[in-house]
Amino acid sequence: MVREIEATAGIPVVQIATIVPIMLTVGANRIVPGVAIPHPVGDPAEGPEADKAVRREILERAFKAMQTKITEQTIFKN
């Protein structure tokens, strides 16, 4: 679905995913790895401040991925 949104509407889409190989298989263009299945965007076991820092870092990476021109599937790691 994310490929279709980009192709038809021209809107960049970022998939935050905990299982990156599945996203590669389904054809997601911009992939930001998440933390874990129960908490893809955060790590509450680390406490409130560390959890907030993890969430911020992942979202900032996703925003950067949205602004990056790509020609093939790209994984945006740390």
Joined tokens for residue 33: 């790895």
pLDDT in tens, the chain (78 residues): 777 888 888 899 999 999 999 999 998 999 999 999 999 999 899 999 999 999 999 999 999 999 999 999 999 997
Return the closest-CA partner of residue 16 out of 71, 75, 69.
75
Residue 41 has a pLDDT of: 93
According to the model, what pLDDT value does residue 10 have?
Answer: 87
Whether pTM > 0.95 for this model: the answer is: no
pLDDT for the residue 70 = 92
From the list 46, 8, 2, 54, the residue with the least C-alpha distance to 24 is: 2
